[in-house]
Structure 1
Amino acid sequence: MRNEGGRTHLSIYVDGPSPGRKRFGDQTRLFEDLILLGRDAGVEVQVLTPGDLSARRAHTFTGMEWVLTQPAGADVVLRRSGLFHRQPALAARELVALRRQGLLHTLPRQSGQKWRLYTWLRTDHRLRSHLPPTWLCARVEDLIALLAAQDDLYLKPLNGTQGQGIYRVRKRAGRVELWSAAASAPLVMSTPSELGRAWPAGSWIPSVAQQTIPLAQIGNRPFDLRWLVCDGDDPTIIARVARVGTPQAVTTNIHTGSEPRFAEDVLEDAFGTKAARDLVGQLDEIALAVAGRARQRFGPYAELGLDLAVREDGRVYFIELNPTPGRKMLRHLDPEVHRLSLQALLEYAIQVRQRRGG
């Protein structure tokens, strides 16, 4: 599938297609924007779904509608789905083939697996002190044992995204409270041992448990941070976004109701101008260090999303990595930032082609 022609070609590999206008779900508009922007930049963008490679077809947007076309050779392929519900086995085979050809420039899904991520990042002396204490919970008994020494934990699926499946477990006033992102009130148990009976293990095991970080706040609204990093000749931080949650929110994910704001502004509101400037510098350093380690371990990538946090006392943390970061928060934040983030993907594809002598 390698491109032997004269133009740069970027392919997006995604789950689908679906019937109706939103052929690729919530990402449909993103792909439309990328295709139209690519034409202005001299980059041909096409979308592939499982089976399209063997059927020799691709999806493109005319500006008015989606149509099927003959696939062009690719310089770069980006995977934009974490899970494939349609033909998952075929998708896995095709993605492996694309990676072996050196065309796939998205970090593998296992790069974001939370326990593996924690265990290899903690070997880096620069990052070790910026990781929240984390434990693997493979059984209910692991969580019960943790609660003997910990009063406040977050449980997260090993491969979860968009804030789904996250729970907060707190010991207060001799009881255990279990909060989910969707619930308005906790499930309350008198002892940790009741967890196994009140909370079906199949809904969350295995997970990682992370010691709760007392997030910095503006007013009474906690916030965490998302840094978008683009690889290339000079790895660059494309966007810095704060996700400002609602009071008492279990998660600060945009999909669960948080408000995106420019990170620099939120940090300045919380800590003052000078401290905010210093914090942005620290967060940039951590983000680029994690991105560098990810590249060494898994190979080149076009982009990744890094979740970070600042405690009330100003201590900074790296939380997790997303190899297929969404753009919803950027569109809500500023259309120009959203456009520049898409432009970075196009420029990355151009750089890859130039390095190959195209």
Structure 2
Amino acid sequence: MTPKKVIGILTWRAGKRFAEPDYLSRLVKAGRELGAEVFLFSHQDVFAKDRKIRGFVPKAGGGWESNWHSWPQIVIDRYRRRVPEYMKLRHSNLFEFANSPFSKKWRVTELLANDARVKMWIPETYVYSPEKLKAMLRQYPILYVKPGIGTGGKSILKVSARGKRYELQGRDKRYARTNASLQRAEEVNQWVRKWVTEQRISNGNFLVQQGLNLELIPNRVTDIRLLIQKNEKGQWSVTGCGVRMGESGSSTSNLHGGGRAIPFHRLVTKRFGEERAQQILRECHHMAHQVAFVLEEKFGRMMEFGLDIGVDVDGKSWLIEVNPKPGREIFKQMKAMDLYAESISRPVQFAMHLIEEKEGNCIRLAK
């Protein structure tokens, strides 16, 4: 009987409280269905000297149970907090990981903006400073001021020039809406300086970015969330995409902030027609593959990316953000449960592919 493949999922936990419990529980179950042994663990569960690891799996009636598990052959990293203990484990040689460490949002944007293969899709972006904000206000009718680390739509501010006034819309750290109407650029600068100080997350920096007119529906911001993943053959493949539509008057489309998920074709075809919608979809797929190749060249082996893509009112596509540990709730919200299930299975399938590849190499070397 062939022994089961052993896959660990590195994540944050406190007691039996886990980050992303619903998704991670589904990931473990997907692994079981594929015939693998899959479990969750955190940095405090690794006993390297004894080569022992404590793993957690979901219990039938809810909650989690722990036990000693075999040392994982491959580890999927879903840890989202850059605490010192995690960083130390991540840079040790204890495990082989399916996905490499990633960088801060600004460094990724800078890398993509300087690569000929993808720079045409990158809005102009800089690290925030009062001087840079002032210069960008003169250049663009819409700007975004946002944290340099992923936040699910928190602490993002939209600045729009309308007639002789500036309209500011944002969501603070608690997703509460903020609005202001100011007359002079200097007032905007003072207001934004205060926002950046008060809304800073984990001592991170802020970015100022060229704004895009993404109101494909009047008074609603829309963008596309596209998921590209490695499949069971280790090849990049787009799992699917959907449109996030923000609440009326909101500065962002994030589902956490009250946004709604709708199928791509329903909105984009209605706005641009069938033929143009197909062209936009092909471009989004092409962009996803190019971005994945460029980032993998730079950071090493990756497993999946969530791309936030803006399609402006003229039909031009822009890359707004890349997330190496993406959610997949958009498929669930669209009731596309086949895509949702596939998006959960693919990381396990890719991890199993890596194990098979490693085992094949060992057999060849033994000969």
Please report the TM-score for the alignment, with normalisation by the length of structure 1: 0.88
Partner of residue 365, structure 2: none
Instruction: Give the direction of change, closer, same or farther, for the CA distance of 1:294–1:192 in structure 2 (3 Å limit).
Output: same
Partner of residue 335, structure 1: 337
Instruction: Give the direction of change, closer, same or farther, for the CA distance of 1:108–1:264 in structure 2 (3 Å limit).
Output: farther
Give the one of 50, 53, 56 matched to 1:56.
53
Helix, strand or coil at the partner of 1:78: strand
Instruction: Give the direction of change, closer, same or farther, for the CA distance of 1:269–1:219 in structure 2 (3 Å limit).
Output: farther
Q: How far apart are the structure 1 equivalents of 2:339 and 2:206?
A: 34
Whether 1:91 aligns to 2:82 is no
Helix, strand or coil at the partner of 2:60: coil
Instruction: Give the direction of change, closer, same or farther, for the CA distance of 1:150–1:241 in structure 2 (3 Å limit).
Output: same
Instruction: Give the direction of change, closer, same or farther, for the CA distance of 1:246–1:252 in structure 2 (3 Å limit).
Output: same
Helix, strand or coil at the partner of 1:119: helix
Structure 1: runs of 5+ lacking an equivalent:
none
**Pairwise CA distance, 1:90:** 1.1
Contact 2:10 2:76 in 1 (8 A): yes
Whether 1:116 aligns to 2:107 is yes
Q: How far apart are the structure 2 equivalents of 1:269 and 1:150?
A: 28
Partner of residue 272, structure 1: 273
Matches within 5 A, 1:189-228: 189-195=182-188, 197-198=190-191, 199-200=193-194, 201-202=196-197, 203-204=199-200, 206-215=205-214, 217-218=216-217, 221-228=220-227
**Pairwise CA distance, 1:41:** 0.8
User: Kindly, what percent of the aligned residue pairs are identical?
Assistant: 24
Helix, strand or coil at the partner of 2:275: helix
Instruction: Give the direction of change, closer, same or farther, for the CA distance of 1:189–1:235 in structure 2 (3 Å limit).
Output: same
Structure 2: runs of 5+ lacking an equivalent:
361-367
Partner of residue 161, structure 2: 171
Count, aligned residues: 342
Q: In the alignment, residue 315 of structure 1 is paired with which amino acid?
A: K
Partner of residue 255, structure 1: 256
Contact 1:218 1:269 in 2 (8 A): no
Helix, strand or coil at the partner of 1:51: helix
**Pairwise CA distance, 1:212:** 1.1
Helix, strand or coil at the partner of 1:69: strand
Q: In the alignment, residue 130 of structure 2 is paired with which amino acid?
A: V
Q: How far apart are the structure 1 equivalents of 2:267 and 2:100?
A: 30
Q: How far apart are the structure 2 equivalents of 1:322 and 1:281?
A: 20
Contact 1:106 1:324 in 2 (8 A): no
Q: In the alignment, residue 336 of structure 1 is paired with which amino acid?
A: D
Q: How far apart are the structure 1 equivalents of 2:246 and 2:69?
A: 43
Please report the TM-score for the alignment, with normalisation by the length of structure 2: 0.86
Whether 1:146 aligns to 2:140 is no
